[in-house]
Amino acid sequence: MVTSARCSDDKSGLEAGWGPDRPTVGSTEYSAYPGFNADRDSGSYGDERNFLLAKDASNQEQGNWHDSIEVVPGNAYWLRLLVHNSARDLPQNVAEDTFVGIDIPTCSGRAIKVFAHITASNAYPSTVYDSVVARSANPIKITAVSQSVRFLTLAHPDGTPGFGEANQMFASGVALGSPDLESGLFSGGFENSMYVVAQFRVDAI
């Protein structure tokens, strides 16, 4: 899906970014078909194309999410992934075979890029992706924290634990739906949007 470099020995050698280019809608508009994170200026979020962000896990304040972060070996960091079908909540706009994954690379360096992707068989585009970059003055590696996946919805604003296959989020990805979490059928509208949050740990090498 994404072929750009994942790790660099140069701390400033990588840049975060989203893709692909796609039609967008305004804060009071809807897509005419299933499609993810197409709002260019959501009043509550901003540009949804920038849907993957990170922050230090010790930071309990709201906000402070970034797509480029300085990391410290031994610390853990949250990833937050927005999933929003930008169409109206109508039967014909349900995104089918929806799949979400987080790709934490196994390489090492002073800059490491983490990707997330959302796919659906009837969405346009069929796959969207975004990335964050972890930066350190010294070489590092990062690993997913097992059992850290949570889903934040209107019904569960503080998060509901991941279901049985949630750890596959870091491998092949998982089928994800809303309002039925494991269905792969993702309804449109803000009321059916969610955040997926998960942690990674940084270690010196």
Determine the pLDDT at residue 1: 40
Q: Output the pTM of the full model.
A: 0.93
pLDDT 10s digits, 11-52 = 999 999 999 999 999 988 999 999 999 999 987 789 999 999
- Determine what percent of the chain is predicted with pLDDT higher than 90: 78
pLDDT higher than threshold 80 for residue 160:
no
pLDDT higher than threshold 80 for residue 136:
yes
> Distance (Å, rounded) from C-alpha 145 to C-alpha 93?
34
Structural domain spans, the chain: 7-204
Confidence of residue 163 (pLDDT cuts 50, 70, 90): low
